[in-house]
Amino acid sequence: MHAEPAVDLSGLLALPLGKRIGPLTTLAQTLVDRQDAGDELDTAARDAVVQGIIDLINACAGTGKERLALGEALGRLGDPRLRSPSDAEYWSTVAVTDGDLLVGRYPVTTAEWQEFARSGGYERDELWSPEGLAWRGSGVRLWPELATRPAVAHLIIPNQPVVGVTWHEANAYAKSQGARLLSFSERLDVVRGREKRPYPWGEPFGQGNANTAEEVLEKPSAIGLYISDRTPEGVSDLAGNVAEWTADEMGDERVIAPGSWKQVSMAAWAKARHFEPPDARQIDLGFRICRDL
């Protein structure tokens, strides 16, 4: 066992935002290391650090890389913003062309995805399309096996969007939650709203509004880290962070919304689209789910 870190936590959290970031990041990482070593953390201290991190994220304090580190620590300590699709808070109600739709506030997270895998989602044949069943049974390596590789550990953070999932896997997850993937036109309506915004926040693209290649974070970030990348209805991470599979087909390929940490801002435009085969895996490609009302 290790002694509690000698830190005046209340004093630290009373510092101005800019001066709080470095010490809080260091303290959070100390707690993460202790937790990984099997130590039992003081619950009140952990909760105070977690809330301190959330306050900084909500205030958009610090540089992108500083917030990235805070977001990762938050994910490892336990991010209270994470919700299950069974929770009402998981969803935002958004008006689209064909009526109102429940839309996931965030892309599906690694935490959600790992629960799907642990609970037997790969074994439930009723969740998989005929093409998905054929793909799953073809001897391919599935996400849970691929995610154990040390080279991708930085991508497997609980509160980051899950990446590297195929369309077949994403579609099966959506069905497991009584949901589905958005069509491209529905996603376009979510981003643009009645104002026909080119980006969730409006225009121009600007700086520091979304996790795109210009931010040079070089990986996904915690959900909601870029608070400008959010619609008035509260749907986040639409312009950047990870690209998203949609339900639409184009020949033998599926349509994706390409805005991500790996793509420049042109890919973040609401109307931008790209195509990938349904068995593609990309380190910047995830998905979001919706439910019909």
pLDDT at 251: 95
All residues at 6 or more sequence positions from 91 whose CB lies less than 8 Å from its CB, including other chains? 85, 102, 103, 104, 105, 291
Q: Which residues pair with 99 in a beta bridge?
A: 96
Q: What is the mean pLDDT of residues 20-30?
A: 93
What is each CA distance from 86 to 176, 183, 261, in whole angstroms?
11, 22, 28
Nearest to 289 by CA among 135, 124, 74, 116: 116
Alpha-carbon torsion (27, 89, 261, 276), positive or negative:
positive
CATH of 88-292, one of 3.90.1580.10, 3.40.190.10, 3.20.19.10, 3.60.21.10: 3.90.1580.10
Asked if 209 and 146 touch (Cβ cutoff 8 Å), the reply is: no
Q: In what order do the strands lie in the sheet with 243-250?
A: 274-276, 253-257, 243-250, 285-287
Instruction: For CATH 3.90.1580.10, list the domain ranges present in the chain.
Output: 88-292
Average pLDDT of the chain, as a whole number: 95
Q: Determine if the pTM surpasses 0.85.
A: yes
Nearest to 168 by CA among 200, 202, 214, 135: 135
| Span 64-81, pLDDT tens digits | 999 999 999 999 999 999
| Span 189-222, pLDDT tens digits | 999 999 999 999 999 999 999 999 999 999 999 9
What Rg value do the Cα atoms of the chain yield, rounded? 19
| Span 237-268, pLDDT tens digits | 999 999 999 999 999 999 999 999 999 999 99
Does the structure show a pLDDT above 60 at 2?
no
Does the structure show a pLDDT above 80 at 145?
yes
